[in-house]
Every structure is written in structure tokens, then in C-alpha cells.
């Protein structure tokens, strides 16, 4: 059996509420549901059950302190010059970068190939297709987005299931930060 896995931080409800308040104003955008809002530390991809178990064990070896985080600003990712994702940014956090490096090391020690993409901390707000409306007004309106600082006290291993209504994310294991 295979599992589609990723490692992420789930923002607290008050931050999710603030992000949901921004999610409008772009025609035909596929806005994320509140259950889908997360900050990905590492996408592991499709793995078989033994590798999933090895990954879960390796993540359990991470010893990292809890830390504060804040969402700041919005932006977008492009493919071939066309926007495909709207996101909320994350204020610079050395502790977040340290945790992400530890997660990357755990993935490699479990046997998952090294991530080639540079870590760009964000929370995806919407997916965009070719039929999506203009994003510039959204980007201008929410450029100054800022949430209250929140405490990150755990991270999760999630399983992603693709459904006709979009991806469903289920936490498999929670890992406390000390």
C-alpha cells in the first residue's frame, strides 16, 4: 500500500480565521478549505508502508524547541509565466528554518530523496487555473496581511488523499516541540 505524505505545521484557529478572511476577490480561484490550510515543511510524496513507518520514526527523533511564528503578506507562484498558486507568507524565523532542516534530515535518513526545491515557507490560499481572474487586486489589497504571533508547539505527519472535491489532509502523527 502507498501513502501520499507530507510534514506540516497547522496554524491555530485564530490565524486560520484571519487567512479565510482574505480568501475572495479572484474569480474562479479554488480557495482552500480551513482543513487544508497548513505550512508545509516537506512533501514526502508517494511512499510504501515500510518507508512511511521509517519516516514516522525518524521524525520522532527530532528534538526542537517550540517557537513563535507570524504570517505576513501574500504572494503567488508561477509556472511558465502564469500564476498557479496564491499564498500567505511567513515572517522570517530562524527557528522555523532550523525545524525544516531537521525534517529534511529525517526524510533523508528514512530513505526519501533530498528535496531539490528551496524551502519557501507559506500557506497556500488558492489554486489557480487558466480561467482564474486577475490576481493583482488581491495582491494589492492583502499586501499588508499580518497575523498575531502564534506559538508553534507541534508539527504533523499528514496523509493526503486526492478526491474529486480536492485533496483531503489527515494528520497521522503529531510531534511535540519542546
Mean pLDDT of the chain: 96
Rounded Cα–Cα distance for residues 66 and 95 (Å) = 8
Q: From the candidates 3, 76, 122, 142, give the one annotated as an active-site residue.
A: 122
How far is Cα 155 from Cα 5, in angstroms, rounded to an integer? 13
Count of residues in the chain: 178
pLDDT for 163 equals: 85
Q: How far apart are CA 24 and CA 126, in angstroms?
A: 10
Structural domain total, the chain: 1
CATH number for the domain that contains residue 115: 3.90.1140.10
Q: How far apart are CA 58 and CA 102, in angstroms?
A: 10
Q: Which of 76, 49, 66, 177 is nearest to 134 (CA)?
A: 76
pTM: 0.94
Among candidate residues 3, 38, 76, 142, the one labeled active-site is: 38
What's the pLDDT tens digit per position in 6-63? 999 999 999 999 999 999 999 999 999 999 999 999 999 999 999 999 999 999 999 9
Tell me which residue range forms the domain holding 88: 2-176
**Count H helices, E strands: the chain?**
4, 10
Q: What integer pLDDT is reported at residue 166 of this predicted model?
A: 78
* pLDDT, tens digit, 9 for 90 and up, residues 122-170: 999 999 998 999 999 999 999 999 999 999 999 999 999 988 877 899 9
For 139, the enclosing helix (H) or strand (E) is helix 136-141
pLDDT of residue 164: 84
The confidence score (pLDDT) of residue 13 equals: 97
Q: Give pLDDT tens digits for 69-127.
A: 999 999 999 999 899 999 999 999 999 999 999 999 999 999 999 999 999 999 999 99
Whether residue 38 lies in the annotated active site: yes
Q: How many C-beta atoms lie closer than 10 Å to residue 85's C-beta?
A: 16
Amino acid at each position: 500500500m502507498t501513502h501520499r505524505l507530507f510534514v506540516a505545521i497547522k496554524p491555530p484557529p485564530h490565524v486560520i480565521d484571519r487567512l479565510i478572511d482574505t480568501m475572495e476577490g479572484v474569480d474562479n480561484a479554488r480557495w482552500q478549505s480551513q482543513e487544508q490550510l497548513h505550512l508545509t515543511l516537506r512533501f514526502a510524496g508517494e511512499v510504501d508502508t515500510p518507508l512511511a513507518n521509517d519516516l514516522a520514526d525518524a521524525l520522532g527523533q527530532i528534538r526542537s524547541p517550540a517557537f513563535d511564528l507570524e504570517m505576513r503578506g501574500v504572494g503567488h507562484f508561477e509556472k511558465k509565466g502564469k500564476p498557479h498558486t496564491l499564498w500567505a507568507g511567513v515572517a522570517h524565523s530562524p527557528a522555523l528554518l532550523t525545524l525544516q532542516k531537521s525534517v529534511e534530515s529525517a526524510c533523508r535518513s528514512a530513505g526519501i530523496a533530498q528535496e531539490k526545491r528551496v524551502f519557501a515557507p507559506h500557506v497556500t490560499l488558492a489554486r489557480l487555473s487558466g480561467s482564474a481572474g486577475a490576481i493583482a487586486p488581491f495582491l494589492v489589497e492583502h499586501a499588508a496581511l499580518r497575523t498575531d504571533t502564534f506559538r508553534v508547539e507541534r508539527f504533523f505527519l499528514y496523509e493526503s488523499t486526492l478526491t474529486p472535491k480536492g485533496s483531503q489532509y489527515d494528520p497521522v502523527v503529531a510531534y511535540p516541540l519542546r
